[in-house]
Amino acid sequence: MKRREFISLFGGAAAAWPLAVRAQQNQIRRVGVLMTNTEKDPEPQAWTSAFEAGLNGLGWVLDRDLRIEYRWGENDPQRLRIYAAELVGMAPDVIFAGAAPALVALHRETRSIPIVFTQISDPVKLGFVASLARPGGNITGFANFEHPIAGKWLDLLKDTAPNTTRVGIVLDPDNLTQAVYLQAIEAAAPSFRFKVIRIDVRSAAEIESAINAFAQQSNGALLVLPTTITTTHRDLIVALTARHRILAIYPYRFFATSGGFISYGVDLPHLYRQAASYVDRILKGAKAGDLPVQLASKFELVVNLKAAKALGLTIPEPFLQLADKVIE
């Protein structure tokens, strides 16, 4: 090969090489997101906004180097199954599962695409990961509650309404995580001398019927478990407890800000923002199975004094000082 031909060939290759590198660097990565809630609900919208903000803070710019495909289950198991299959069929780089029903649907569809979850209780017991430290497989994420929180919820009931003898546990029987909570509550209840009454709900009509029936007897309080059903119908639950003057403990802040008595649970926007860090690491080459499952670290106690007054309760000042937020 003549020197001039060699230089020409090398120069062409050198020019093409940076273009190939730049094309690879500028490749848009794809993230699928499967949410169990309704898209119109402002609370889940706040969680996904926190998720996007977390990714943006790590250097990802939407529609420039990252594209997110959202699917909203609308609390419909069939819709979740369809959307899970649809997202997996898109072959994204990673899928984010918001809550247990979404993870269940995705787990059925893929054992290869990395999945990061939030709002899952005891992912080991539920069979999603081998262990918290080394999940193995294609799933990891951020758990929202540990078993001891059951005792904390019951403790809040005893501290604020010591005459309570019956505790109705409002749950979704179709959500796998609910059994984990219920077992922990039933184990802790005898030490508080509480009789636990399971209240299964799958719709607004069932919520109204169940709470109306529960209110027919005295000395009862409600413990509302975290699930899409109770989140979606939080205004109805709060309205019914107010109508019947039933004390209730809730799992998330937005129940208290909607008029509920007391909430104690994880800061969900914070959890979703943390989950973005695992999506970022997987996009940069980490394996989901090598990333340890993280337990929620930020909890918040919110007390609604207006609701307490309506219930005829006076909350001691030392108790209020423990609260992260007091709603006057």
CA angle 140, 146, 150 (to 5 degrees): 150
* Prediction pTM value: 0.89
Q: Which residues lie across from 325 on neighbouring strands?
A: 302
Q: So where are the chain's domains? A: 9-145+268-298, 149-266+300-327
User: What is the identity of the amino acid at 85?
Assistant: A
Residue 226 has a CB neighbour count (10 Å cut-off) of 26
Q: What's the rounded Cα separation, in Å, for the pair 75 and 103?
A: 13
The number of residues making up the chain comes to 328
Confidence (pLDDT) at 297:
86
Which tens digit of pLDDT belongs to each residue from 206-249? 999 999 999 999 999 999 999 999 999 999 999 999 999 999 99
Distance from C-alpha of 214 to C-alpha of 38, rounded to nearest angstrom: 28
| Strand, helix or coil for residue 313 | coil
For residue range 30-79, list pLDDT tens digits in order. Answer: 999 999 999 999 999 999 999 999 999 999 999 999 999 999 999 999 99
Query: Is 176 within 8 Å of 225 (Cβ atoms)?
Result: no
In this chain, the answer to whether the domains covering 9-145+268-298 and 149-266+300-327 adopt an identical fold is yes
- 92-140 pLDDT, tens digit each: 999 999 999 999 999 999 999 999 999 998 899 899 999 999 999 999 9
**In Å, how far are 21, 27, 162, 257, 264 from 306, measured between CA atoms?**
61, 53, 19, 11, 17
The domain covering 9-145+268-298 belongs, at the CATH homologous superfamily level, to Response regulator (3.40.50.2300)
Terminal Cα-to-Cα distance of the chain (whole angstroms) = 86
- The per-residue pLDDT for 27 is 85
Class of the CATH-defined domain 149-266+300-327: alpha beta
